[in-house]
Structure 1
Amino acid sequence: MRSGRRKAMYHSHRTNEVLHVVSSHSTCLGAHSNTLEHLDMSLDHFDCIVIGSGNAGSCAALAAKDSGCPRVLVVDKCPAEWVGGNGYFTAGAYRTVHDGLHDLLRIVHNVAPNSDLASTIDVDPYSPEDFIGDIMRLGEGKPNPELVKALVEGSRDAVQWLAERVKVPFTFSFNRQAYLVNGRQKFWGGLALSVEDGGKGVIAAHQKALKDAGVEVWFNTTAVELVEENNAVAGVIVTQNGELVTLRAQSVILATGGYEASRELRGKLLGSQWELAKVRGTPYNTGDGLTLARAIGAKLAGDFQGCHSTCWDANAAPDTGDRLLSNQFTKSGYPLGLMLNALGERFVDEGEDFRNYTYAKFGKAILRQPGGHAFQVWDSKVTSWLRKEEYGDDIVRKIWADSIEELAEKLHAEGLEDKETFIRTVKFYNDATHAFQAKYPDKAWDPAVKDGLSTSSLPLPKSNWALTIEEPPFLAVKVACGITFTFGGLAIDPNTASVLSEQGKPVPGLFCTGELVGGLFHHNYPGGSGLTAGAVFGRKAGEEAGKTIVRS
């Protein structure tokens, strides 16, 4: 009982702490509460206003238009050349329930149903139980089960809608989610769908669909306050060209992303070390949605100490993603080799699970290491398996050597503090790998399955895909922590995407989607779930916005 009471007291204290930080951030941003009657404002009317031009906001806007909102407006504080939010920087992966190869062949553009290529593809069905199980397992049982259920049950319809209505060019993700083993393309990790040209292709399809549907999009337009009338949200105050403008609407949909691009909020909510994390995507996700919603009493939800972070190029820019290279700074080849910190020690089980179940948390592990960086290391047996999109000669700085001793010497200039420990760690790993292979000679390396090829004798084992690192030349790259999006956000109704008040009731006229939704992910998440969640809850929000028109 005492332990449970202490835990409840901690969570209550943590919630109050987060509320204080967000409220302070609202003040710092210069919220304009209680000043409506004093402003010289122009007046414009819309049926639905969406704040945010990413995947989630675009889905919401198009769904609102299709659901009976004659005039839909998307506003974004970024300039037009930064359209797309974080969705632009993704690999374009969508995780969805499906019945296997025949089901997905109806969606993808890069494989014909009866082609020779189709006959060489192995992709297992992915059931609702699989999807729910992955989110809850990686989230340590803490994600909101109703939100998870809504995401999973809506995933397949959302993907079909994206393919048919938005014309998103889906493909099989051969280079990212499959390995060619014995002449067959073997997909793994419950994920098979990507998009031609990745996130860039996603956003291009959305922009065309919005334009064709007659949805207006305004850039350089910052939302600073929600307008309330008769206890309902009735519009939003924005800044344009330095002037305050009031935009009226029967519904507002928040799709502003998280707060990962704000060093201040990262430091206050995630911890001071997170100020050193590198922003993977848009620099414009600075917590505005939290500020807007909290100002009218919206409820916060989810893991405000958690985020999606990954292995990121240590030489990438600190505060923004690159619009050209986008997701290519990701460094996800660690299951094929080792990761060692500045002290020359391993700190994660590189073979714990498939990459798309571990990459969103390993960035955090890197950030905790001395200097906030680490080194990924491979030998010549596996370097050809590394994804060229991430490890191409023109993408990442490579450090080659003909011996582990030489590699340690070269890495010393890159921040390796203890060369001797580095050499010893690799030797002990190799010895453990040889011992396991001698004991289990029938086990074969297979990157498309959890092959059980392990270094189980080590205190920190590599549980799968353990090959020795002893055949030159050796390759290393330096990696840091890249932050993608934050997990804490707003509480919503799972069925309508309505924002909930502190009392747990829907705030009339206010909806939320995308990375601003709180409670869906905790600690970690299965890759490809984010874009799908944005589509599922974006559609719900847009459809509900349409219902406000019917009732008026």
Structure 2
Amino acid sequence: MGYDADVIVVGTGNAGFCAAHAAAERGARVLMLEKGPATAIGGNTYFTAGAIRTTFSDLDDLVSVIDDPDERLPHTDIAPYGPADFAQDMSRVTLGRCDPELTDAVVRGIADTVRWMREHGIRFRLQYERQAYEVNGRHRFWGGLPLATVDGGKGLVAQHLAEAERNGVRILCDTAVDRILRDADGRVTGVAAGGAEFRAGAVVLAAGGFQASRVLRAQYLGPNWDLAKVRGTPYNTGSALMAALEVEAQPAGHWSGCHAVAWDANAPDSGDLELTNRLTKQSYPLSIVVNTAGRRFLDEGAELRNYTYAKYGAEILRQPGALAFQLFDAKTAPLLREAEYEAPGVSRYQADSIAELAELAGIDPAGLAATVEQYNAATRPGTFDPAVKDGLGTTGLTPPKSNWAQPLDQPPYLAFAVTCGITFTFGGVKIDTCGRVINEAGAAITGLFAAGEMAGGLFFHNYPGGSGLAAGSVFGRRAGAEAATLVSSGLLAS
């Protein structure tokens, strides 16, 4: 049998590229297959902000991996964030359902993987503009997520692509994998894309979830999920995932759950290649959020944004018209993330009164007036601090606002219209800590590996911000290394 490559990687996002680098550095000939055209290289990764959750002992630990020192470093405060902290966050936000072995692999492996990525040309920085507030002359990071890639998702993909080219990794676009090939013994020997077959000693699946398929969203996530906007690539329709199930890969994870955020109501149906992540609206903990009837429906200040934003999109989808509005006043407007709230075409309304704001935005005036009056009356005196859970909550209000509750009383008032933007689905295939795909009988499928959004078992209901890139990096690296080792061992030698 003549092989097209030693290792085939299906998908060109962060997890796929990490797999490709790991396989190539072990001498494997690597072929990456991308379902979309060349402009789709990067998959969902291209549309991220590039935030990656990692562990660190102190600021100096982070400085050792960032690209350029920042002049703000002497005035920066970042609390240590170790593996135990990461593990606790994973367990807390997934309601204790995250797979303990996979979680342990991520939280204990991510710091070394970040250093390994840096050796492979990936550049990192501290994301002051997204994860820090200036308080009393100090830049205070919050939520365990200070690190991001230079130039966000676009930069991460460009850096991955450059490394792949240096290593001789081939990328074939417009190749939609829909079948996994096996021999008579059940060993994976390649993949099929339409009428074409590609042979290899091992295959790594890193083609994302099914979030871009309206049919699969409605089938697995439930009613109205076919109406959600897609934050990223339109090519993650689950075809490779379904192909894995057809060869008896064991389903794992939260198949009726997903990562979904507050997304600009004017956004296109799938990701914008220019604006990418700028269409998200994540300063909502400083706001009050209402539906078209002017009623609040969630606790905007329940937690630091990093631990709620991935589940609030689902709450918005449940509202009339799948529409909501984030409201700010002159006190909170200066704290908004500029990249998100001043993006071109943003759904923004401004007025000098609540009544005028309601009319401009299309919110029920009476409902909004009553909500603002009740909310303002429920706030109480205290010290506002956006960099911590300040305990400045409402009293006697349902739903409450648990932190950062200030009266909405200083014009001009701002409203931003948001809908549900789905990022990725939580259902996938079961893998072990080496990235090997496990079958229905509990055994590894020889020659088949998975990483990234295709690997189920880590996220349920919610997820800590930046842990998707972290998991994709750790398991992409492991899957690529294991795939190359399997081929070189002679078990599936060409």
- The match for 2:7 is 48
d(CA) in 2 for partners of 1:137 and 1:501? 29
- The match for 1:269 is 220
Match of 1:98 among 30, 33, 56: 56
Q: Which one-letter code corresponds to 2:210 in the other structure?
A: Y
Contact (CA 8 Å) 2:7, 2:30: kept in 1 or not? yes
d(CA) in 2 for partners of 1:456 and 1:179? 26
Shift of residue 395, structure 1, vs aligned partner: 4.4
Contact (CA 8 Å) 1:43, 1:247: kept in 2 or not? no
Shift of residue 101, structure 1, vs aligned partner: 0.2
d(CA) in 1 for partners of 2:441 and 2:247? 12
- The match for 1:525 is 463
Match of 1:84 among 14, 24, 42: 42
Matched, 1:486 2:425: yes
d(CA) in 2 for partners of 1:393 and 1:532? 27
Contact (CA 8 Å) 1:337, 1:377: kept in 2 or not? yes
- The match for 1:235 is 190
- The match for 2:261 is 310
Match of 1:156 among 91, 105, 111: 111
- The match for 1:384 is 334
Q: Which one-letter code corresponds to 2:342 in the other structure?
A: G
Q: Name the one with the larger helix percent.
A: 1
Q: What is the SS of the residue equivalent to 1:485?
A: strand
After superposition, the C-alpha distances for 1:260-293 in whole angstroms (9 at most, x for unaligned) are 0000000010012101100000000001222111
- The match for 2:241 is 290
- The match for 2:406 is 467
- The match for 2:366 is 420
Q: What is the SS of the residue equivalent to 2:98?
A: coil
Shift of residue 457, structure 1, vs aligned partner: 2.1
Contact (CA 8 Å) 1:68, 1:549: kept in 2 or not? no
Shift of residue 119, structure 1, vs aligned partner: 1.2
Q: Normalising to structure 2: TM-score of the pair?
A: 0.97
d(CA) in 1 for partners of 2:335 and 2:291? 23
- The match for 2:318 is 368
- The match for 1:108 is 66
Q: Relative to 1, partners in 2 of residues 1:395 and 1:449: Cα closer, same or farther, differing over 3 Å?
A: farther
Q: What is the SS of the residue equivalent to 2:39?
A: helix
Q: What is the SS of the residue equivalent to 2:91?
A: helix
Contact (CA 8 Å) 2:262, 2:420: kept in 1 or not? yes
Q: Which one-letter code corresponds to 1:179 in the other structure?
A: Y
Contact (CA 8 Å) 1:455, 1:466: kept in 2 or not? yes
Contact (CA 8 Å) 1:328, 1:395: kept in 2 or not? no
Q: What is the SS of the residue equivalent to 2:177?
A: strand
Matched, 1:430 2:386: no
After superposition, the C-alpha distances for 1:121-147 in whole angstroms (9 at most, x for unaligned) are 100110111101101100011111111
Match of 2:391 among 452, 457, 478: 452
Q: Normalising to structure 1: TM-score of the pair?
A: 0.87
d(CA) in 1 for partners of 2:10 and 2:271? 21
d(CA) in 1 for partners of 2:227 and 2:80? 40
d(CA) in 1 for partners of 2:230 and 2:448? 29
- The match for 1:74 is 32
Match of 1:170 among 117, 120, 124: 124
d(CA) in 2 for partners of 1:492 and 1:245? 27
Matched, 1:132 2:87: yes
Shift of residue 236, structure 1, vs aligned partner: 1.2
Contact (CA 8 Å) 1:72, 1:216: kept in 2 or not? yes
- The match for 1:198 is 152
Q: Number of matched residues?
A: 489
Q: Which one-letter code corresponds to 2:401 in the other structure?
A: K
Matched, 1:256 2:211: no
After superposition, the C-alpha distances for 1:415-446 in whole angstroms (9 at most, x for unaligned) are x2x3211111001111111xx21xxxxx3111
d(CA) in 1 for partners of 2:369 and 2:329? 14
Match of 1:207 among 158, 161, 166: 161
Superposed, 1:525-544 pairs within 5 Å as 525-544=463-482
Q: What is the SS of the residue equivalent to 2:308?
A: helix
After superposition, the C-alpha distances for 1:29-66 in whole angstroms (9 at most, x for unaligned) are xxxxxxxxxxxxx9653100000001000000110111
- The match for 1:225 is 179
Q: Relative to 1, partners in 2 of residues 1:53 and 1:248: Cα closer, same or farther, differing over 3 Å?
A: same
d(CA) in 2 for partners of 1:530 and 1:508? 26
d(CA) in 1 for partners of 2:361 and 2:249? 49
Shift of residue 393, structure 1, vs aligned partner: 5.7
Over alpha carbons, which structure has the higher Rg?
1
Contact (CA 8 Å) 2:290, 2:325: kept in 1 or not? yes
Q: What is the SS of the residue equivalent to 1:527?
A: coil
Shift of residue 521, structure 1, vs aligned partner: 0.4
Identity of aligned residues (%): 49
Shift of residue 397, structure 1, vs aligned partner: 2.7
Q: Which one-letter code corresponds to 1:380 in the other structure?
A: A
Matched, 1:509 2:447: yes
Shift of residue 550, structure 1, vs aligned partner: 2.7
Match of 1:476 among 415, 420, 425: 415
Q: Relative to 1, partners in 2 of residues 1:393 and 1:258: Cα closer, same or farther, differing over 3 Å?
A: closer
Q: What is the SS of the residue equivalent to 2:254?
A: coil
Superposed, 1:317-332 pairs within 5 Å as 317-318=268-269, 320-332=270-282
d(CA) in 2 for partners of 1:303 and 1:393? 33
